[in-house]
Amino acid sequence: MRCKFDDGLQVSYSGPLRINKGNEINVYLSPNDIDTDIHGELHEAALHENCSELKHVAEKVIDIVGRNIHEE
């Protein structure tokens, strides 16, 4: 599932989670790096195909892990 928002935030979730916003935010989490409760919320957002739910979870992830976690 991919969502783009008016503020420039882009969120992609298909197992791994990618969150980008220009040079401000660049987060990549593999499925094994995603906390169980966050994974559940991501799964629910994807099931509902709800971008606002996905954005809410992405903002929560940014608060927890920070703004820059690069793909390894």
Residue 71 is predicted with a pLDDT of: 62
Which pLDDT belongs to residue 23?
87
Residue partners of 6: CB distance under 8 A and separation at least 6: none
pLDDT on residue 67: 80
Confidence (pLDDT) at 41: 96
In the predicted model, residues of the chain with pLDDT beneath 70 are: 69-72
Q: What is the pLDDT of residue 72?
A: 59
Distance CA 67, CA 32 (A): 19
The pLDDT value given to residue 68: 78
| φ/ψ of residue 23, rounded to 5 | -90, -5
CA distance 54 to 56: 5
